[in-house]
Amino acid sequence: MLKGRLKDQNNSINTDIQKILILAKQAHEDYLIRAKESDLENALLYYFQAIKIDPSISDAYCKLASLMWEKGQIDLQSALEQCEKAISHDPSSPVARLYFGYFLKTAGKFNEAEDEFKNAIKLGGIFYAKPRIALGSTILQKARTTTPSLYEFSRGIYHFFSGIMLILWDFNAIKMFYKSVVEDIRLSTYDLKATIFKKFNKIDKVVEIYENAAEHTGKNELFYSKIGDLSLEHGNPDQAIDYYKNALKSSPDNIGLWAKMTSIIQHYYSDNTEELTNCYLKISELDPTNAKIHYELGHLHLQSEDSYNALEAFKEAVSIDKKNPYYHNSLAYAYVQIKDYESAINEYQKAIRLNPDNEWTSIVSQALGAIYHQVKGNSDAAIVAYQSATVLDPLNLDAFIALAETYQENGDYNNAIDNYLEVIKLDPTIAKVYCNLGLCLWEKDYVEEAIIAYQKATALNSKYEIAFNNLGVAYLDGVGKVEEALAIFSLAIKNNPNYALAYYNKGRAYQAFGNKTEAANYFQMAIDINRLTEEFDETEVETRLFNLFSVD
């Protein structure tokens, strides 16, 4: 009685396994024909279920390994191990030998693969075509990696074409071929209908045909993608995005669809940083070795002020392509954003050494100089970097200006003057350059030349309060023209009513003119405004104000 119940139970289990294997095989074949992600997922699920019920099913291991390897869930070594496990369960399985041979061939182990294909032929019988084709292909591929002989070439051709001939007696191969042809005919019929209506510009009808095709063939990603392409072609990017998203529901790992989505958003909705970032994140997951994707993703993070994720993206790009100067430059900029200046300097130096283009590298050298100058306080290193920038690109005005300003801050007025004059040769319309040049000339006691420089600055920019103030100082202290100085200080104050230094200098001019009351008013206004603007130390002004009416 107990034996009967056990026998019935075993029969039930075997029936369940057979049903699951049939479903797995069906899903596997559908995937091979349609390349639909859901078919792949179903095949994986059924093979897993079959192995769970009966771990000794040989063929399920190797087929599962094939699908998992294709999906990127296991590496080649793991796939080989799964095939070895399948052979250990059933050494006489031609399918296990065939799959093992495929993976050995993929690993470049041609001799071992050849042996397994021969085993598959012996075990599968004379009409088993697939291992013959695989054997011939392996022999020919191996011949390409060595010095080919006529014998090996002939042997490869023989096995390959004998397999092609015998495929007529391989029922499974014929069945797959038939299903594939039928599927191709169905797809072609829909495409033909759509093409006819497209020629007559019946776009709504074309969309209807493709939607019906998606529903009846299950190839949503193919036909929704076609509708997306059509929508974009007719200037409807919103609709194109909607259909691409529908296509991605069926095929979420289709990198081509993600690329299309990304391209549309970049072109039409570049301000939609969040969605664009999500697209690049997905593409980076699907294609993790694509340095350009990580680079673009880094810039999107920067736009969103997400400095740390930008840093990680640029690091990934650099790790993939260490010789790309643009990646090093962007990584350096990301380090600047998080105030890691030593790392930024290191990356800028790498970008400069790679030097893809003198003009571009000049700008990078200038950026490096700015860190040395403004952050590290190392004016000598800054000067070297700025000089490199000017040598790399003799038309880089900003580099010349930065170099001149650094010399000026160091009190090296001769070199500062030389570089300001170089800028003026390249572009004589920059008011600030004339103003800075005037300061250097003033420090060298070239009063008349300084006045000319300040006058040029004010002529170029009639609202340049600093140039007016400096010109007033030159008139007051340099040539003693008090009335002219008063008028010029008034222009400085008019252009900037909160310019404390101009009030102070105008007070000095009134004091020199002998008008103590006005001098006191302007000294006091200078003190009041300076408490907000903090332009200078008030001690000198307060002393002048105190002494203005003191009795000796």
Do both 141 and 156 map to the same domain? yes
Residue 74 falls within a domain, yes or no? yes
Q: Is residue 348 part of a domain?
A: no
Asked if 116 and 159 sit in the same domain, the reply is yes
DSSP, res 472: H
Same domain, 124 and 182: no
Q: Domain containing 243: what range?
A: 172-253
Would the pLDDT of 108 be above 70? Answer: yes
Regarding whether 165 and 190 lie in a shared domain, the answer is no
CATH number at residue 538: 1.25.40.10
- Looking at the fold, whether 63 and 161 belong to one and the same domain comes out as yes
Do 161 and 60 reside in the same domain of the chain? yes
Considering only CA atoms, which of 376, 378, 383, 388 is closest in space to residue 351? 388
Give the residue from 224, 253, 282 where a domain finishes: 253
Entry pTM: 0.67
198 and 243 in one domain?
A: yes
383 lies in a domain?
Answer: no
The gap between the terminal CA atoms of the chain, to the nearest Å, is 134
Taking 80 as the threshold, does the pLDDT of residue 255 lie above it?
Answer: yes
pLDDT of residue 165: 62
Residue 171 confidence (pLDDT) above 90: no
Query: Mind listing the pLDDT tens digit for each residue in 45-95?
Result: 766 676 667 777 777 777 777 777 666 667 778 878 888 888 888 888 888
pLDDT at 166: 56
Residue showing tokens 């001769």: 414
Within-domain flag for 91: yes
CA 377 to chain centre: 33
Tell whether 491 is covered by a domain.
yes
Please tell me the total count of domains within the chain.
3
Alpha helices in 90-219 (DSSP H): 94-106, 110-124, 129-145, 150-166, 171-199, 203-217
Of 236, 253, 270, the position where a domain reaches its end is 253
Q: Are residues 66 and 163 in the same domain?
A: yes
pLDDT digit string (tens) for 326-338? 999 999 999 999 9
Is pLDDT of 9 > 60?
A: no
Confidence of residue 7 (pLDDT cuts 50, 70, 90): very low
Residue partners of 173: CB distance under 8 A and separation at least 6: 129, 130, 167
In a domain, 426, yes or no: no
Please return the burial class of 449, using the count of CB atoms within 10 Å of its CB with bins 0-12, 13-18 and 19+.
middle
Under the banding of pLDDT at 50, 70 and 90, the label for residue 178 is very low
**Residues 498 and 543 both lie in one domain:** yes
Q: Which of these three, 215, 236, 253, is where a domain ends?
A: 253
Same domain, 472 and 545: yes
Q: Does residue 143 share a domain with residue 65?
A: yes
What letter represents residue 336's amino acid? V
Q: Are residues 160 and 179 in the same domain?
A: no
For residue 44, tell me if it sits in a domain.
no
Residue 116 belongs to some domain of the structure: yes
CA distances to 237, 257, 264, 270 from 276, in Å: 14, 14, 10, 8
